[in-house]
Amino acid sequence: MPLKNLLPGILTARTCLGTVLLAYLAWSTAGMADPAQGHALQSPNGRIRVAVQMPGAPPNDQIQWSATFAGKPLVSGCHLGLQSKDGGELLAGSRLKRATHRSQNKTIPVLFGKSDHAQDTFNEVRYELENINHQRLDVVFRCYNDCIALRYELPARSAGREVVLVDESTSFGIEGNPTAYAQYLENYNTSHEHNVTNVQASELPPAQLLDMPLTLSWPDGTCAAITEASLRHYAGMSLRRTAAAGQTVDLVCQLTPLPDGTKVVGRLPFRTPWRVILVADRPGALLESSTLYCLNEPSVIQDTSWIKPGKITFSWWNGDVYDGKRDLPILSVAMAKKYIDFCARTGIPTHSLTSDEKTVSPWYFQSPVGVAPGPDTDVTRTRADFDLPAIAEYAASKHVRLWTWVHQGALRGRVEQAFAAFEKMGWSGMMVDFFDHDDQGSVEHAESILQAAARHHILIHFHGIWKPTGWQRTYPNLMNHEGALNLEYLKWSDRCTPEHDLRMANTRLIAGPMDYHLGGFRAVTRAEFQPHNIAPNVLGTRCHQLGLYVCFDNPNPMVADYPAAYEGQPGFEFLTSVPTWWNETRVLVDQIGRVLVTARRKDNVWYVGGISAGRQNTIDVPLAFLKSGSYQVEIWKDAADSDANPNHLQTERTKLSRKDHLQIRLAEDGGFVARFTR
């Protein structure tokens, strides 16, 4: 794509939905008798209230803030702080010069997400501060109906001047000792693939790095998630609990350091990512939220007509086989044709080719065996035994697109050259893997990949990477992040259990689309399970696996099992026909770690999916989200014997309306899917 099609600013007006209402109110606080008096901000619906306490005389010379939700304390004693290499604490001795308020009520389009639009409606206050060295620093607070967000901005007092940050000390004082659903990070070098531990917030280990989103749940049903949005030109953030005793549990920002120990190097003007608390009175509302998307910049891609998400094969997961056993080499023309024929006759739009089956060495040239790049790695050249032109010609004749994989390290220093070559080779998309670090350099490398991929009309999956922060708004060619312990782990362990699926839904999935290696069609019971690299099994019934396609956001999900595992099998007709992006999403039932039921609308058709963990039970699903009138309903649900034979399912057809309830019996680790049509 020509460079002129990458816009640095906002979408043109014709891409906006609805009308925009902007109200600006400003006043100067200079000369106020009491500069330490409190300032207030609330959400448009009034349920979230934020109080900001400006600095006074020592020892109360720090900015603090607190917030309530529906009248209940949520956080208190929260501190702000940004430390530079040369100037120390940039908020030291700060005095408020001006507070500028604005409100916005705007509907923005979403191209490939949980909804076709998002409501970008908030109240905002910008505090212009001057520190003891007469430097200006702005702190911006926003309140949405489901979110508190704040960021720091350093204006261009001296445009282009370098600023080096050595730390950020933003903190969150959690009230009420809620249950925390935490992922413990081993250190800053991490793929962000961990099981979830649920403990009381006061029991979080003080020295432990905590991944985000960190989900919190109070006994009255209130749920919150702490995360970040619009992570650009900055270090990724995790959390750590301080050892201080008190009524609140204090969680402090931890930035991933650069190799020299500093955290961020930038040039003025400069701003940080948003620090975010999503909050609602039920956990499912956090999954319905599009606020993280709103907190990002509009698309820089003017023409998005080439972006075509959809399901993809991914033979690496199944052991690079076609019918369960090793036969033809996976990168051979003959095997590629078999997979492409499978895609063509089943309606799967994209086939992936990644690496060989023996050494897992990639499709491109390199001398070292395995995935890690070496000194001679060259992604612009195919390996000698891989006839990509012949495969691409055959795929084009069958109207099937091609997808691939690349190690992020093989792109460093030659991103534009690589993607120019990828476009000529015929790749429509690729997984970029093994970031395993979210320092500023890695974050900027990932963004440069998205930019080059957009110029050359290539879709991107990011694996071995941090949680999403809403980049899919700015770069809609970004399909998903991994950043989750997922079904690939069943190739070598039993760690991806049905309980884990459900905990991932209420932690990692809150941040955005999640790649999970979906599509396993050969389930076994927990007692029977053994890890296998070739033809791995999955835990959870077949209907549980189908339910993941509805419950998990991902516009470009895998169909990862081998073709012979699918064809002729009950439920495959649902897998091939279920959409991958939506006009509307409602979470109907959400009990963290136990059961999740999600309804999604595509045009005039509703799809409902449910997943559960543990022993069998019957759930009652209200259908009030439907419009009036009768719907034809097709249901795929666990069979009577699915506890012992988890691949068994039964189908049912019935008529239902919004006045009805859907009664579903779930087998052990079960699930269901249903399609509602007029």
The Cα-based distances of 570 to 36, 348, 609, 647, 653 in angstroms read 67, 17, 16, 9, 15
Residues 440 and 578 in one domain: yes
Q: Based on the structure, what is the number of domains in the chain? A: 2
pLDDT surpasses 50 at 13: no
The distance from CA 199 to its chain's CA centroid, rounded to whole angstroms, is 23
- Maximal CA-CA distance, the chain: 82
Verify that 21 and 138 share a domain, yes or no: yes
Q: In terms of domains, do 93 and 238 share one?
A: yes
Is the model more confident about 134 or about 179?
179
Q: Is position 662 within any domain?
A: no
Q: How many H-runs (helices) and E-runs (strands) does the chain carry?
A: 12, 43
Please state, in angstroms and rounded to a whole number, the distance separating the CA atoms of residues 566 and 576.
10
| Span 336-365, average pLDDT | 98
Q: Are residues 389 and 243 in the same domain?
A: no
Residue-level pLDDT at 158 = 63
Regarding whether 252 and 316 lie in a shared domain, the answer is no
pLDDT of 618 higher than 50: yes
The b/e string for 47-60 (b: 16+ C-beta within 10 A; e otherwise) is: bbbbebbbbeeeee
- Closest alpha carbon to 539 in 485, 497, 590: 497
Q: Do residues 217 and 340 both lie within one domain?
A: no
- Domain of 238, in residue numbers: 3-294
Query: Within this chain, do residues 284 and 326 fall inside the same structural domain, yes or no?
Result: no
Q: Which has the closest alpha carbon to 240: 228, 252, 249?
A: 252
Q: Assess whether pLDDT exceeds 60 at residue 437.
A: yes
> Which sign, positive or negative, has the C-alpha torsion 549, 550, 551, 554?
positive
| Banded model confidence at residue 59, pLDDT cuts 50, 70, 90 | low
Same domain? For 285 and 373 the reply is no
Unique residue bearing structure tokens 């301080």: 242
Bridge-based pairing of strands 631-638 and 671-677 is antiparallel
In a shared domain, residues 349 and 281: no
DSSP 344: H
pLDDT tens track for 83-116: 999 889 999 999 999 999 999 999 999 999 999 9
Tokens describing residue 62: 């720090």
Predicted confidence band at 37 (pLDDT cuts at 50, 70, 90)?
low
C-alpha distances (whole Å) from 36 to each of 41, 93, 98, 397 are 16, 12, 13, 71
3-state SS record for 206-246: CCCEECCCEEEECCCCCEEEEEEECCCCCCCEEEEECCCCC
**Would you say 457 and 476 are in contact if contact means Cβ atoms under 8 Å apart?**
no
Whether the per-residue pLDDT at 27 is higher than 80: the answer is no
pLDDT at residue number 15: 36
Closest CA to 253 of 238, 242, 271, 267: 238
pLDDT of residue 73: 98
Q: Residues 157, 90: contact at Cβ < 8 Å? A: no
**Per the confidence metrics, is the pTM higher than 0.85?**
yes
Question: Please, what is the end-to-end C-alpha distance for the chain in angstroms?
Answer: 41
**Residue at 306 is within a domain:** no
**How high is the mean pLDDT of the chain?**
93
- Residue 158's domain is classified under what CATH number? 2.70.98.10
> Binning pLDDT at 50, 70 and 90, where does residue 167 land?
very high
Say if residue 384's pLDDT is above 60: yes
**Secondary structure of 427-481 in the HEC alphabet?**
EEEEEEECCCCCCHHHHHHHHHHHHHHHHCCCEEEECCCCCCCCHHHHCCCEEEE
CB 563 within 8 Å of CB 342: yes
Are both 248 and 382 inside the same structural domain? no
Can you give the pLDDT at residue 251? 98
Mean pLDDT over 482-498 rounds to: 98
- CATH assignment at residue 447: 3.20.20.70
Tell me whether residue 140 is in a domain.
yes
Average pLDDT over residues 59-74: 89
| Distance (Å, whole) CA 646 – CA 524 | 6
The position carrying tokens 């691939």 is 404
614, part of any domain: no
Q: Is residue 68 part of a domain?
A: yes
pLDDT above 90: residue 296 = yes
Contact 48, 279 (CB under 8 A): yes
Neighbours of 199 (CB within 10 A): 12
Given a cut of 60, whether residue 399 has pLDDT beyond it is yes
The pLDDT of residue 156 is 83
Torsional class of 349: left (φ above 0), alpha (ψ -120 to 50), beta (otherwise): alpha
Q: How far is CA 73 from the centre of its chain?
A: 28
Is residue 533 one of the residues assigned to a domain? yes
Q: Tell me whether residue 322 is in a domain.
A: yes
169 lies in some domain: yes
What local confidence, expressed as pLDDT, does residue 30 receive? 33
Task: Answer yes or no: do 236 and 333 share one domain.
Answer: no
**Tens digit of pLDDT for each residue in 359-381?**
999 999 999 999 999 999 999 99
Cβ pair 77, 88 in contact under 8 A: no
Q: Is 271 helix (H, G, I), strand (E, B) or coil?
A: strand
- CA dihedral in degrees (285, 275, 37, 81; nearest 10)? 160
CA within 13 Å, CB half, 321:
16
SS3 138: strand
Band of the pLDDT at 16, cuts 50, 70, 90?
A: very low
pLDDT category, 247, cuts 50, 70, 90?
A: confident
Do 245 and 322 have their domain in common?
Answer: no
The answer on pLDDT for 515 being more than 50 is yes
How do residues 656-667 score in pLDDT, each as one tens digit? 999 999 999 999
Identity of the amino acid at 242: T
Q: What is the pLDDT of residues 580-608, one digit of tens each?
A: 999 999 999 999 999 999 999 999 999 99
